[in-house]
Structure 1
Amino acid sequence: MIRTALPAEARVIADLHVRARSTYYPGGLPDPGTDWAARWLDAIERPDGQVLCVVEHGRITGIASFRRAEGSPAGTVKLFQFHVDPDHWRAGIGGALHTACVEQWHADGTRTATLDVHVGNRRAQLFYARQGWVPDPENPPAEDDHHLYLRLSLSGE
């Protein structure tokens, strides 16, 4: 089942987030002091955003957070976080969650989605490419940047 995350689930979502991010930071997360539960609670409670979660057998196995980013044009949404519990990779959870995001974006009248992905996260880069994401020509990575910027056209362009 895919549904909107609840405030009471912020800690569980934060734990999943940390486990997933740890897989592509071999030296450890760069921001070890961050209170991820508080950050996720903020995302869940934002009136201008949405957090979706995949729930299987009573356990959250995937999460996605998106909203219109400050300064972005109308009709554009930014996917800020997208994680699947590493214990559940290759089970179709990411694809189903991505489809739910795209369906929500269509319902909201979104024409373009953007995201940034860590250069060391090859697994995510391949996943996004399979979903139709391409490098963002308006946002090439700067030298020494650790992120790639991708976009997804939702208007058939």
Structure 2
Amino acid sequence: MSTTHAEQAGSSCTAEPASSVVAPVTGERGRKDPERSCGRARSGSRAVHDPLTTGAALAVADRRRNHGPTRRVPHLMIRTATPADLDAIVQLHTEARSTYYRGHIPEEEYAGAAEVGRSRGGWSRAIDRPDTTVFCAERDGALAGIAAYAVRDGVMHLTQLHVSPSHWRRGIGTELHSACVDAWRQAGVDSARLEVFVHNTRAQSFYADRGWAPDPGHPRTGAHLVLRLMVS
């Protein structure tokens, strides 16, 4: 998946940011694959020490429970994604990516039929993988945001975090981010990484407001900035 987009509205969050946030594996010309980005690890990262975070165990724990209603955003439910969510997830992902890729790469590379099909395949695999967690933020019965993370080679990666443009600035990105970080803390994860498109300044602000900082060893990869969060 990819990372980094924040709720739109002001920064990646300070005022709830813009639409997406995510840490990913970069494809051609800045594209990110939902499933491949989950699998990208980087050298120089701090290892995750708790055995619960080595792959499937953390994801299995998340699949066994839904986070339930949130306290700060009325009528918002954070839950684990299922195959039945796939169509809505792909649509939201495509809409969110359009807000920060438009004007920077050709439209067919983020919203064309072939790219949407590739994205769908990536999300389908991510939902099914036992070592990947995909969260849905549902408000009044409609999908409002998505997030995904996975451990690869002992390193936690936030691979996706997107909010529907129609739900920007309502705290949904913050709630999704908090759900991810809470799960990491419970599992003993000490640090996490993500990548954000260099032109997605809203997402960059969102992450900065939540403690993410440039990775000192690998601050950039292609068209994406690499950020790190100290969790513990």
Question: So what's the TM-score if we normalise by structure 2?
Answer: 0.62
State the Cα deviation string for residues 80-120 of structure 1 (Å, max 9, x = none). 11100011000000011100010111122211110000001
Question: Is 1:5 equivalent to 2:85 in the alignment?
Answer: no
Distance 2:89 2:187 in 1: 24
Spell out structure 1 runs of 4+ moving beyond 2 A: 27-32
- The corresponding residue for 1:149 is 226
Distance 1:3 1:68 in 2: 19
Q: Indicate the SS of the match to 1:30.
A: helix
Distance 2:78 2:101 in 1: 28
**How far does residue 41 in structure 1 lie from its aligned partner after superposition?**
1.2
- The corresponding residue for 2:156 is 77
Amino acid at match of 2:228: R
- The corresponding residue for 2:124 is 41
Distance 2:164 2:126 in 1: 19
Amino acid at match of 1:60: L
Cα distance change, pair 29–92 in 1 and its aligned pair in 2 (3 A): farther
- The corresponding residue for 2:91 is 15
State the Cα deviation string for residues 108-140 of structure 1 (Å, max 9, x = none). 221111000000111100000011100001212
- Determine which of 112, 116, 135 is the counterpart of 2:195: 116
Distance 2:177 2:124 in 1: 21
Structure number with greater CO (CA < 8 Å, separation at least 6) is 2
Distance 2:108 2:161 in 1: 16
Question: Is 1:101 equivalent to 2:180 in the alignment?
Answer: yes
- Aligned pair count reads 149
Q: How high is the sequence identity, in percent, across the aligned residues?
A: 47
Structure 2: gaps of 5 or more residues: 1-76
Larger strand fraction of residues: 1
Q: Contact (CA 8 Å) 1:21, 1:29: kept in 2 or not?
A: no
**How far does residue 37 in structure 1 lie from its aligned partner after superposition?**
2.0
